[in-house]
Amino acid sequence: MVCHDFSSGLVDHKLFRALVGERPDGPVGGVTIGIPDVPLVFRAVATEECPTQKLNWKTDSPVWVEQWPLSREKLKALQELVDEQLAKGHTVETTSLWNSPVFVIKKANKGKWQLLHDLRQINNVIEDMGSLQPGMPSPEMLPQNWNLAIIDIKDCFFQIPLHPDNAPRFAFSVPTLNQEAPRKRYHWKFLRQGMKNSPSICQWYLSSLLSPVRAAVGEAIILHYMDDVLVCAPNDDLLSHGLDLTIDSLVAAGFELQEEKIQRMPPWKYLGLEIGKQTIVLQKLVVKNNIKTLADVQQLCGSLNWVRPWLGLTTEDLDPLFNLLKGGEELSSPRTLTQEAQAALEKVQDCMATRQANRCKLDLPFKFIILGKVPHLHGMIFQWERVEKSKKDKDCRDPLLIIEWVFLSHHRSKRMTRPQELVAELIRKARTRIRELVGCGFESIHIPIEINLGQITKAMLEHLIHEDEALQFALDSYTGQISIHLPPHKLFREQIQFKLSLKSVLSRRPLKALTVFTDASETSHKSVITRKDPQTQQWEKDIVEVEESPQVAELAAVVRAFEKLPEPFNLVTDSAYVAGVVSGAEQAVLSEVSNSALFNLLSKLVNLISHREQQFYVMHIRSLTDLPGFIAEGNRRADALAVPVEMAPLPDIFGQAKISHQLFHQNAPGPVRQFHLTREQARAIVSLVPATRTPSPECKSKPQGMEQL
């Protein structure tokens, strides 16, 4: 296929004039608007042969799926449709060794037949291309008051040729009744809708046609998504010029365009949206409330998830509907709307009627703000326009330009997530999104931070970021401002129900306070707390049996420690899991946990730490060490208290050393120091009682407590 030079007269320009209208020559409205000449590079590209994309195959062995019989009525309809495609040049007769079945269905509400090709087996032997355009263009990036024109390409796939080497593999047969004659066989010359790589090839092919047009139209914007092409320009003259070149390129490549499919006047309908001069709203979306099955709920939630960025529907708003997706894996499993879900649908319909997004302003920077409340935080990408408001002008325009809403995933991968991590994830998503949209960063990011006394200082803010790894990653290389002040707008005052606290009861350094040791045993199910009373210098203990895993049992001990000790204290544990949970519990958001005992303990711990006034410090140490000192002694005592009764220490020194070696796998120097034995006695214990030596760091073995629950 050859694309012609548009200035050569080889293309029917009467068709173009009928499609796009006449463009006035000379001054427009008293102003001379310069239209750029078509660059030579554009003309050169336009006369080149339009390339086709070749598919990669997993096998060259022919795939043959036999055609199934069809009724007389459907067979007649099939033959008529094939003859029509043959006349249009979309198919040719073939002797291909490949075959896939075809069938016909009636189009809804039209009574016409549609030909479909079952390409499932063919798709299995085609290598995936992957998506070239993973999302639709965002019309919010079209500058306000720029005019648009939108082209809807008819039967886009039918105009894009298959590579000649690939075409014979898309063959089919038209059967005859009673085998009265040899069946006729055909293959397609153009893309088929059922072929898995057709969307990618369509994106690539149209992009190759529109790239020289983009280069020729200067500051005009051309958006392409599947079979829709949008042209946007700052003035009508440049818009007409860009539209002319776009239509020329498409028609010369063989695409069929219809005048009624070209939109020139607002509001413009585009990909389910209605674009005005300054705002963007949804086209009328029918919300299906006749929910009967899981499949119905999935389709509804999928549609609502798509419109969220324009409507600002929060996870909290949609939570009752999302909850209907849980349970019952069969698509036909029954579902009914709860009262909460019905209320959520009513809110959705209200938002669809009242909310809108804005087209951007080129001279305004982009900003981002954190909104909502824990656990359903969300954010907004926006622009802020300075509006001079006089006392008389009560109805002045809104300074807030909502560009897009940003939401967290409904599913959290961690059981416990701190608010700082939620804020960091929103910032990360928003910074990624703004780079995707306009290739720049935010001028400012607004984070609601709690101020108890006085004013927050730059040093305090830097300390918050320095102490939190998630925020450090989210703000890496960020050069804009971080602000705690909200722009004066009612929406922000209503939406912000959360403030990040600068203070934490978790100390980063050991405290001059009581030290508590915890441990647990899988064998004895004991959950142990032990501490040395600073007054009496006696060791105290608190032991409870917990019929759960060692991690859960030790977590129960930690919860008891926080219940008993409102004063500052240090917590020492040999479970890395428990240490991690305690460190991240302050104001944390819990995900659902199937183990009810674990969930209850986590809930208690989060509540105790979040409402705690005095600081605490948590320390993780390696278990089963023979190091000297107070910390190792406390850990050994907690370990000893957790072992079964039958393994309790013997009264004589030699017996105690023997039990200690069994429990802690000590080498000979350990009993010598701890029990004042001779080297010969210690070696005798080691030789008589086999023990696994403490692994060296090079072994990279997991510390106790790292196993999964």
Q: Which residue has the tokens 């997993």?
A: 58
- Does 282-357 match 507-709 in CATH topology? no
CB 517 within 8 A of CB 470: no
pLDDT above 50 (res 22)? no
Band of the pLDDT at 706, cuts 50, 70, 90? Answer: very low
Return the higher-pLDDT residue of 627 and 265.
Answer: 265
How far is CA 580 from each of CA 411, 509, 651, 697, 706, rounded to the nearest angstrom? 21, 16, 38, 21, 10
Kindly list the strands in the beta sheet with 569-573, ordered across the sheet, starting from the edge strand earlier in the chain: 539-545, 526-532, 514-520, 569-573, 616-620
Q: What is the pTM of this model?
A: 0.77
Residue 383 token pair: 């622009």
The predicted pLDDT at position 413 comes to 75
223: confidence class by pLDDT, cuts 50, 70, 90 = very high
What confidence category does residue 391 fall into, taking pLDDT thresholds of 50, 70 and 90?
Answer: low
pLDDT at position 30, please? 36
What lies within 8 Å, CB to CB, of 313 at 6+ separation is 304, 307, 347, 348, 351
Q: Please tell me the predicted confidence (pLDDT) of residue 671.
A: 75
End-to-end CA distance of the chain: 63
Largest CA distance in the chain: 112
Closest to 69 in 3D by CA, of 175, 187, 179, 171: 175
- The residue ranking higher by pLDDT, 624 or 672, is 672
Question: For the residues 645-651, what does the mean pLDDT come to?
Answer: 50
In whole angstroms, what is the distance from residue 581 CA to residue 93 CA?
A: 69
The answer to whether 253 and 3 have CB atoms below 8 angstroms apart is yes
Q: What is the mean pLDDT of the chain?
A: 83
Q: Is the pLDDT of residue 3 over 50?
A: no
Looking at residue 687, its pLDDT comes to 76
Distance, CA of 313 to CA of 224 (rounded, Å): 27
For strands 569-573 and 616-620, give the pairing: parallel
Confidence at residue 690, expressed as pLDDT on a 0 to 100 scale: 55
List the one residue out of 310, 290, 314, 288 whose CA is nearest residue 300.
288
CATH of 282-357, one of 1.10.287.130, 3.40.50.720, 3.30.70.270, 3.40.220.10: 3.30.70.270
Using an 8 Å Cβ cutoff, are 404 and 434 in contact? no
pLDDT number for residue 47: 38
Q: Does 514 have pLDDT greater than 50?
A: yes
Position with higher pLDDT, 677 vs 619: 619
Structure tokens at 698: 């090079």
Confidence of residue 316 (pLDDT cuts 50, 70, 90): confident
What whole-number distance in Å separates Cα of residue 686 and Cα of residue 632? 21
| Distance in angstroms (rounded) separating the CA atoms of residues 402 and 261 | 30
Rounded mean pLDDT, 73-101: 94
Nearest to 528 by CA among 576, 498, 472, 573: 573
- Average pLDDT for 250-262: 88
Helix (H) or strand (E) segment spanning residue 550 = helix 550-564
- Judged by DSSP in three states, 100 sits in coil
**Nearest-angstrom CA–CA distance, 534 and 529:** 16
The encoded tokens of residue 385 equal: 């326009």
Q: What pLDDT, on a 0 to 100 scale, did the predictor assign at position 375?
A: 81
pLDDT for 126 equals 96
Q: Are 432 and 381 in contact (CB under 8 A)?
A: no
Whether residue 625 has pLDDT greater than 70: no
How long a stretch of residues is the chain? 709
Structure confidence at residue 676 (pLDDT): 75
Over residues 193-212, the mean pLDDT reads 91
Q: Is the pLDDT of residue 62 over 50?
A: yes
Confidence (pLDDT) at 56: 95
Q: Is the pLDDT of residue 43 over 60?
A: no
Residue 37: predicted pLDDT: 52
Indicate the CATH number for domain 365-388+397-495: 3.30.420
Decide which of 639 and 184 is more confident: 184
At residue 457, the pLDDT reads 65
> Domain residue spans in the chain?
282-357, 365-388+397-495, 507-709
What confidence score (pLDDT) does residue 273 get? 92
Cα–Cα distance for residue pair 574/709, rounded to 1 Å: 16
State pLDDT tens for residues 140-169: 999 999 999 999 998 888 889 999 999 999
Which phi and psi (to 5°) does residue 268 adopt? -95, 135
CATH value of 507-709 in 2.60.40.1120, 3.30.420.10, 3.40.50.10780, 3.30.450.40: 3.30.420.10
Please state, as a whole number, how many other Cβ atoms lie within 10 Å of the Cβ of residue 703: 16
- Residue whose token pair is 């959360």: 498
Helix axes 550-564, 596-610, angle to 10 degrees: 30
User: Can you give the pLDDT at residue 587?
Assistant: 87
pLDDT, one tens digit per residue, over 595-610 is 888 999 999 999 999 9
pLDDT average, residue stretch 342-358: 90
Between 17-31, 106-120, 519-533, the lowest mean confidence (pLDDT) is in 17-31
> 259 pLDDT exceeds 60?
yes
The CA distance from 255 to 243, in Å, is 15
Q: Which residue has the higher pLDDT, 554 or 454?
A: 554
What's the confidence (pLDDT) of residue 218? 87
The answer to whether 140 touches 403, Cβ cutoff 8 Å, is yes
- What pLDDT is attached to residue 698? 41
